[in-house]
Chains A and B, each alone.
Chain A
Amino acid sequence: MELDFSPLIDSWRYLLGGLGITLLLSVLTAAGSLVLGTVLGLGRVYGPAWLRVPIVFYIDTQRAIPVLVILVWFYFAVPILTGISFHPFWAALMALTLHIAAYVAEIVRAGIESIRPGQVRAALALGMSRTQIVRKVVLPQAMVRMLPSFGSVLSITIKDTAIAAVIAVPELMKRAETIAGQSYRPIEVFTTVMVIYFIILFPGSRLIDRLYQRVAHLGRS
C-alpha cells in the first residue's frame, strides 16, 4: 500500500480554514447553549408550574431526536415553513444550540438538585428570601459542581459540529470529505483529520477529568 499525503499538503490552507470554522461554530454553539440551557434549567427548577411542563417536554424531545435529524430539519424544512433560508453555518449554529441547550439544562437542574434541601430550609429559617437563597446559597455551590460538566459540553459540541458536514457547513469534516473525494485519497485524508480532531479533543477531556477530581471535594456538602 502506497501512501500519498500530497493532496493534504497542497490544500493545508483549505483544511486549516475548516478547522477555524469548526472551532468558531463550537465556541458560538457552546456559548449559546450555555445561556439558553441555564435559562431552561432555572425555569425548570424554579419556574411556575405552567412553564415547567413545556420545558420538560422540550428537553425530553431534544433527548429523543438525533442531532442529525434536527440539523437536516432545520436546514431543509424550516425554509419551506417560514420562507426564510439560512446559510448552512447559521442553520447549524441554531440547530446545535437548540439541541445542546437541552443537555445544559439537565446539568443545571442536576447541579441545583444536588444541593441538600436542608440548606434551603436552614436559609429560610434564617429569614432569607427565596431569591437570596438561590443567589447566595444554592447557586454558588451548584456552580462548582456543574463546572466539569460544562467542560464536557464543549467537548461534545466540538464532536457534534462534525455532523454539520451533512448540511454542507464548510468545517473540518466537510472539507476532509471534499479533499478525499477530489484526490481519491480517503485513507490519508481521513486518518490525518482523525489525528487533528484527537489533538484538539484529547487535552480538553484530560483537563476535564482533572477538574472533576479537583472540584469533587469542593462540591461536597
Chain B
Amino acid sequence: MNLDWTIVWQHRWDLAQGAGLTVLLTVLTMLAAVPAGMVLALMRLSRSRILSTASLWFVEFFRNLPLILVVYWAFYVMPVFLHIEFSAFTTGLIALCLNVSAYNAETFRAGINSIRKGQMEAAIAVGMSRWQAMKQIIIPQAWRRVLPVLASTWVSLFKDTSLVSVIAVGELAHVALQIRSSSFRVLEMLTAMAVIYWLMGYPQAKLADWVHKRFEVKE
C-alpha cells in the first residue's frame, strides 16, 4: 500500500473553499429556519384551526422524511411545480431549511409549552392580549429551554449539510469526493475529509454540551 498524502496539501484551497461553503450553508439555513420555526410554532399554538393544522402537517411531513430524499425531491420536483430554476446551492439550502424549520418548530413549541399555563392566564388577567403575553412573558422564558436544543440541532445541521453533495453543491463532502475520483487517492482523500469534518465538528459538539450545561433548567 503506497500512500501519497501530498494530494491533500495540493488541494488545500479547494478543500478550504468546500469547508467554507459547508459553514455558509449551516449559517444561512439556521438564519432562515429559526424565524420559520418560530412562525410555525406560533401557528401551531394559535386558536385558528386552519393555521394550526397546516403547521402540524408541514412539521410532521418534513420530520418524517429522510433528508437526502427531500434534497432529491427539491432538485427534481420543486422547479417543475414552481416554474423556477434554482441553482444547486439554493436548492440544497431550501431542502435543509424545510427540514430544520420543522425540527425548530417542534423545539419552540415544546419550549413555549414548558412555561406553566398559569403564567399566560395571569398575564391575560392583568389585561394583556394573548399576543402581548406571548411576546413579553412566555417567549423570553422559553428561550432558556430552547437554546440547548437549538445548539444540538445546529450540530446535526452542520453534519447534514454533507447530504446536499448528492446534487453537486460544492461543499466539503462534494469537493473531497470529487478529488477522490479524479486522483484515485481514495484513502487519503476520504481520511482527510473525515479529519476536516472532525476538526470542525468536535468543537461544535463540545460547545453544544456547554450550552446544555449552562442553560440546564433545574426543577
Contacts and interface: CB of A to CB of B under 8 A. Distances in A.
A30 interface: no
> Which of B67, B180, B190, B202 neighbours the largest number of chain A CB atoms within 10 Å of its CB?
B190
Contact of B191 (A73, A155, A198): A73
B69 A197 contact: yes
A190 B77 contact: yes
Contacts of B65: 159, 194, 197-198, 201
B10 to A, nearest CB: 19
Given A64-B198, A64-B202, 10 more contacts: A61-B202, A64-B197, A66-B159, A69-B162, A69-B194, A76-B187, A77-B187, A177-B72, A191-B73, A205-B60
A191 B201 CA distance: 33
B68 interface: yes
Nearest to A199: B64
Interface stretch (A39-47, A142-150, A161-169): A161-169
A-B CB proximity, top 6 nearest = A64-B201, A162-B66, A186-B76, A66-B159, A201-B64, A66-B162
Name the prevailing secondary structure of the A interface residues: helix
B177 interface: yes
Contacts of A73: 190-191, 193-194
Interface residues of A, number: 41
A190 B177 CA distance: 24
Interface residues of B, number: 41
B66 A160 contact: yes
A202 interface: yes
22 contacts: A63-B205, A64-B197, A64-B201, A64-B204, A66-B173, A68-B173, A72-B190, A72-B193, A73-B191, A77-B191, A155-B64, A159-B65, A165-B68, A177-B72, A187-B76, A187-B80, A191-B73, A191-B77, A197-B69, A198-B64, A201-B64, A202-B60
Interface in A48-75: 60-61, 63-70, 72-73
Given A63-B155, A63-B201, A77-B191, A190 B76 contact: yes
